[in-house]
Structure 1
């Protein structure tokens, strides 16, 4: 089930025009804040202690979300500062919860921040069941005796608010479920999955890909109850047949297979030739960046309605994010597609390429025990990707075999191979993304002298341990360029082959470029934000940012003739 996202899709392209400066201000403020865990702890504590009945400060929640997101990316890149920040905040919140200082409203707000930052919510953060009952007793239905009846009554207003879009329902639950105690979480998912409303049926299918074992188990039990009650639809059966192979846990996959068999025995027919729910108007891809991230976008049309299916792939994680987002008109759709294709390269790709890239990403996720984003089920349905399955192997060799099924590269003579690898020296001008390929792991230079020679030696030694990583990025790029008809594709494929087969890295020009760019990035990072800046300027920037994040002031009423106009008070951050 897709997650509706505010604003532009998740790519590394900056927001357009006026939003760019504000986006950069938010990011820089969050990055500086993430370097000081004590301040992040204080920010999280302020939100966690939101009084009962009050709404958490939206500006503070936005700042915490961006800060957690920056720390997550730093941690994924091997920077210890990111892990220090996340660990410090997590331990502090759990300690507050243990002391009874996290309110229900504060817990919901903190949970939302973590979910939006793509992070698991700290275990032990949820308030106790007694605290939940105490704070929610005023609006829980007191005359209901069964969980099903209570859930139906509570969800009635929620369903009225979301309309026919189940993705909003998924987002609402995604930001609440991690903050509910495990047993209650499983029961809620079971009850929701069995609810007669068809939106809960789609939601339950998406929950089978959730990171939480309690959510997956509850959803599966609820779908089983749904089948027993004769309410499982052919559409749901079709979804289950597609996503069963995406499930990481073998016991869960076996239970889903049993559910599918029982559904077929009960007479539910699965339509394997379901046409796409939308017409596909364009497919584009970003280049693969230095972290192994790649954005895929599919333009969709249904009647006069427009939408975009977005998928974010990331090396080591597989399908990191996926969702279908509606567009107001054709111009907005073109603009969002352009944001992805404008990152460099030709942009346009075939749907066959997208399905192949997804197959490799799903296989990598299974290898690393990482579930794909639940929204992939929506993308697959919208584009009729009924045969989308993980490939048998996500290795460099498997990708090169897909690139070169005839094994023509191996038949080249040594001089031809060397020429193709040497051509990687000329890649950067034609492929700007390569200028951002570098390593940023803090472990690289541990224990080395501060000299440039020592740093270079340490980096070459480090890259020997990263052959598979860079060979994978380059092999993925070769597949992308081949689909786009780029004549340089064989150079990328042969370079990936040389790296993976143990050729000396210092004789591969693109690896020398990665070394130079890493050392340059390291030198740039050595200049901190405080150098050359007067004391207190960071606080001034933060105050300005918080003030900008506040909603605009309401238009002033025209003063009456008998009273002078009041002077405007300084606006406080909301």
Structure 2
């Protein structure tokens, strides 16, 4: 996230007005989709957006459309900034801290209304960024203050409220959970327990189904109590067949202490005669997978045919972080699906793939989620219901085994020294062919120190290759190996073989200076540092 010149307020205000116009028309234009990326490239820009928001909401007659646009821009920029934070960018970490402090100061000074603060808090959660103790406590206090000024609710009022909420989200448990989990993220675990417990006990079935999502809460105490609540609900006939099947699917992702009550809940459902829920018939028409970008992110998109309508299933994983996002969008027309695929093709290098690549990625990255004690998103259940035929268990695949499987069955002559030499030579040209390689560089803070010690550009590149790239060659081999996996089903071309051969050389003993792709990563690192 390179620092550039200060962001002109007038230009960002003009951008906000364009975003407001797009939002008013309900059109997801390219500009609207990339506004977060543009803002994240300039740390000053997000601060200017926040300043403009504070100024606008403080007016006697604020422009609601402009406020909505500025909030949208904040959310998009936070999402992009989180990727930089995960990549180890120190400027990105500093930016998040600056935004936190500015929000605290503004709220304590009465410059930001509670409802705006709570929206921004939800945006932090959606972007998977930590609110920090001070900002979390402030948002919680504002939420409790708002609740204390509202009317007290009777049990009938609460039932009606849940029914109205479920109706607003078309009784989709994944949509309900997505909305509520962001709102509840600022609450301490003990308060989340009480609220989620009311979802489990709700008379509205879709609210009870949404409660399953808190089995993937970040707090072990919340997860354990939700599991116990689900046992009680199952014993009293409160769980549907679909919920029982989802418990079975999620079971391998949870600790043994949580698996035991889930087994009891499923048994109670089976004893009531509930059979596995029939899934709506769907035909998979298109599967595409992207290569890994420099931060390790990789996507899979699946188009499914459901009767006359189409559905789009999306999966995002990230090396070292696990399954990051998954969702399904229903009721798309063929035109909407084709437009989406075209936009993805413009933004990402994609390969024709199969559902098996998604299952392999999920199994591998779930193991990372468990190792980091960071549960996958509830949307993964929805994705698997749409795309997969059953349960996917966490199982990390080592890079060496991955490459071995990719090259299994490849003729010996295609793996000969001559073929390896040709693949290595071709790797010098890959950055011109594949856009994802433009993001392959070391973002480490050690880059500046390493680059600064060398003299000429060539000396800086050699230093980066020796000091930074060589110790990380296993990581780059892993990214290239999973890119090869994404390309494994390509009908034309043999990219996956060449990718796998070069990945094997990165993983082996060959001098890193003899691997053109590694040399290019060093050059790209120096160029990124200069920018």
Secondary structure, aligned partner of 1:208: helix
Contact 1:319 1:373 in 2 (8 A): yes
Q: 1:206 to 1:25 in 2, by over 3 A?
A: closer
- Give the whole-Å Cα distance in 2 for the aligned partners of 1:21 and 1:38: 20
1:157-168 map, 5 Å: 157-168=164-175
Q: CA-to-partner distance for each residue in 1:451-489, whole Å, 9 max, x for gaps?
A: 324422331111123122211111112222222244232
- Give the whole-Å Cα distance in 1 for the aligned partners of 2:417 and 2:121: 57
Contact 2:289 2:351 in 1 (8 A): yes
Q: CA-to-partner distance for each residue in 1:66-86, whole Å, 9 max, x for gaps?
A: 332233222222221100011
Give the number of the structure whose residues are more often helix, by fraction.
2
Q: 2:81 aligns with which of 71, 82, 102?
A: 71
1:458 aligns with 2:495: no
Secondary structure, aligned partner of 1:231: coil
Paired residues, what number?
497
Aligned to 1:431: 434
Q: 1:140 aligns with which of 128, 151, 170?
A: 151
Q: 1:360 to 1:135 in 2, by over 3 A?
A: closer
Contact 2:366 2:376 in 1 (8 A): yes
Q: Which runs of 5+ in 1 are unaligned?
A: 1-16, 526-574
Q: 1:24 to 1:416 in 2, by over 3 A?
A: closer
- Give the whole-Å Cα distance in 2 for the aligned partners of 1:159 and 1:21: 33
Aligned to 1:156: 163
> How far apart are residue 129 of structure 1 and its match?
7.3
Contact 1:438 1:514 in 2 (8 A): yes
1:396 aligns with 2:381: no
Q: How big is the alpha-carbon RMSD for the aligned residues of Structure 1 and Structure 2?
A: 3.6
Q: CA-to-partner distance for each residue in 1:356-403, whole Å, 9 max, x for gaps?
A: 222222223333333222211011112243132222x23212322432
Point out which structure has higher relative CO (alpha carbons under 8 A, 6+ apart).
1
Q: 1:318 aligns with which of 309, 317, 322?
A: 322
Aligned to 2:234: 227
Q: 1:426 to 1:364 in 2, by over 3 A?
A: same
Aligned to 1:190: 197
- Give the whole-Å Cα distance in 1 for the aligned partners of 2:443 and 2:249: 37
Q: Which runs of 5+ in 2 are unaligned?
A: 1-26
Which structure has the larger Rg over C-alpha atoms?
1
1:288 aligns with 2:288: no
1:474 aligns with 2:480: yes
- Give the whole-Å Cα distance in 2 for the aligned partners of 1:304 and 1:105: 41
Aligned to 2:95: 85
Aligned to 1:20: 30
Secondary structure, aligned partner of 1:296: strand
1:118 aligns with 2:121: no
> How far apart are residue 48 of structure 1 and its match?
10
1:183-262 map, 5 Å: 183-213=190-220, 215-247=222-254, 249-262=255-268
- Give the whole-Å Cα distance in 2 for the aligned partners of 1:488 and 1:258: 48
Q: CA-to-partner distance for each residue in 1:62-111, whole Å, 9 max, x for gaps?
A: 23223322332222222211000112333454577789997642442122
Contact 2:39 2:46 in 1 (8 A): no
Secondary structure, aligned partner of 2:353: coil
The more displaced of 291-300 and 57-66 is: 57-66
Query: TM-score, with normalisation over the residues of structure 1?
Result: 0.76
Aligned to 1:176: 183
Q: 1:294 to 1:132 in 2, by over 3 A?
A: closer
The more displaced of 90-99 and 338-347 is: 90-99
Q: 1:140 to 1:184 in 2, by over 3 A?
A: farther
Secondary structure, aligned partner of 1:483: coil
Aligned to 2:340: 336
Contact 2:441 2:525 in 1 (8 A): yes
